[in-house]
Structure 1
């Protein structure tokens, strides 16, 4: 029996993707974060302890890891999503008006070539740090989530 934690942490099936380098999209918001504090309690040990019962349940999915079709199709934020929604998220297979997917987990992720926490301390790249954090906060505010 494979449990959910084992399924979630197994090695992914390989596939080719390309994420272009460059600047992040400009955020249209009045939110202008100035600093941040690491969340010391956001650790693998704490998260798996909180969800231990759910993660211990039996996994009924596919036996062999393979990417989903949506995982092999890379889009930028102007393609396949509403303009104010995150461009990397968990989406439903339900198609909405206009051909966009329903965003189930609003949020954001960045590849390291576009954003990393250390940008905060680089005066020449502080705006990139601030812009990406403002986007994430804007998504959370728009969807009324944390």
Structure 2
């Protein structure tokens, strides 16, 4: 599996700015706890919950991405990386985003078992021409299958 990156899809704009906003939310939550005179043990529990949840959000903002390499596609989330070799991918499709999402379209990967996975940041907000980009990825998929 090669290390050369063909394409990488990330959140638009600097991720550190979003992580800084999460840090501000954490600081505001801790300040609220301290200013309201919460007893020690509940305060420790609340700060711990804030630290874990905000830390997870910051990690997700900094780490989440989709990477396309000569050997396949890797989808990164906050704590997990899922890899698919080209021969493990059945199809890539542009689909309507879920109703509760602010996106209109997302790109989904279907593996050979039929399992569907939405690829992070391969959507209409982060990719200018999503349909053309997905067709490009299908071409890379066809070429990757031919090599394997």
Answer yes or no: same fold by TM over 0.5: no
Q: TM-score range by the shorter chain?
A: under 0.3
TM-score, normalised to structure 1, is 0.23
Higher strand share: 2
TM-score, normalised to structure 2, is 0.23
Higher helix share: 2
